[in-house]
């Protein structure tokens, strides 16, 4: 099987990071593997993503508007309770680059929805999905192991060193690299059931 090398480059606090998501066979077994390799747990989290767009067939792989609702978090990386984010994504064979256009924090889900209704009047709620995740660090890199009903378990590696992506993926026995965003992948599952195709 041929795997497409896909990385996401983004900047946090002036540091260039690389991020890649992989398929994994089992979330619990992968956590155990991280611990065996000397990883440190930073807690778990559960959040709900509410995805908005002008229509169900809109291309959310390149432009996404969401409310992220943090239902539980033991991780210091997780911030506010309701976070509205609008971002664009540029894709190529070798890379994915995100640009955040707008972020706003809200105390209630209703306030976040009203903000979207006022600022993005053509958008509507398309779908909602949940993630259960576990945050670990391993030799200076962040590992996020997540489980979703729609897509099954997966793992994200965040690192300052691009070579660590493949090294850690091999050490943790990861499978195929994702070539899609999580919202876009779930959208395609929904549309497939409705026999609707989204243009790339």
Enumerate residues 6+ apart whose C-beta is below 8 A from 75: 42, 43, 44, 45, 135
Domains belonging to the chain, first-starting first, are 7-194 (2.40.320.10)
Identify whether the C-beta of residue 50 lies closer than 8 Å to the C-beta of residue 86: no
Q: What pLDDT, on a 0 to 100 scale, did the predictor assign at position 77?
A: 46
Per-10-residue mean pLDDT, the chain, length 200: 41 68 96 97 92 92 93 59 89 67 92 97 95 95 94 92 91 92 91 71
pLDDT at 4: 32
pLDDT score, position 12: 54
- Cα distance from N-terminal residue to C-terminal residue, the chain: 23
The verdict on pTM exceeding 0.95 is no
For the chain, counts of helices (H) and of strands (E): 4, 9
Q: What integer pLDDT is reported at residue 2 of this predicted model?
A: 27
Q: Name the region of 195 (left: φ>0; alpha: ψ -120 to 50; beta: rest).
A: left
Confidence (pLDDT) at 81:
86
Write down the pLDDT at residue 80.
63
């Amino acid at each position: 099987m041929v795997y497409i090398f896909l990385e996401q480059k983004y900047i946090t606090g002036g540091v260039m990071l690389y991020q890649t998501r992989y398929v994994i066979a089992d979330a619990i077994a992968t956590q155990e593997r991280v611990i065996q390799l000397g990883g440190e747990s930073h807690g778990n989290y559960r959040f709900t993503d509410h995805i908005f767009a002008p229509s169900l067939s809109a291309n959310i792989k390149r432009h996404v508007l969401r409310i992220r609702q943090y239902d539980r978090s033991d991780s210091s990386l997780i911030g506010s309770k309701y976070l509205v984010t609008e971002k664009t994504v540029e894709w190529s064979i070798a890379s994915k680059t995100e640009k955040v256009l707008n972020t706003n924090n809200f105390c209630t889900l209703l306030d976040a929805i009203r903000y979207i209704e006022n600022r993005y009047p053509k958008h509507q709620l398309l779908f909602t999905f949940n993630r259960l995740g576990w945050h670990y660090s391993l030799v200076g890199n962040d590992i996020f192991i997540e489980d979703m009903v729609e897509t099954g378990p997966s793992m994200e590696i965040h690192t300052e060193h691009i070579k660590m992506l493949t090294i850690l993926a091999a050490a943790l026995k990861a499978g195929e690299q994702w070539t899609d965003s999580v919202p876009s992948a779930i959208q395609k599952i929904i549309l497939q059931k409705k026999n609707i195709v989204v243009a790339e």
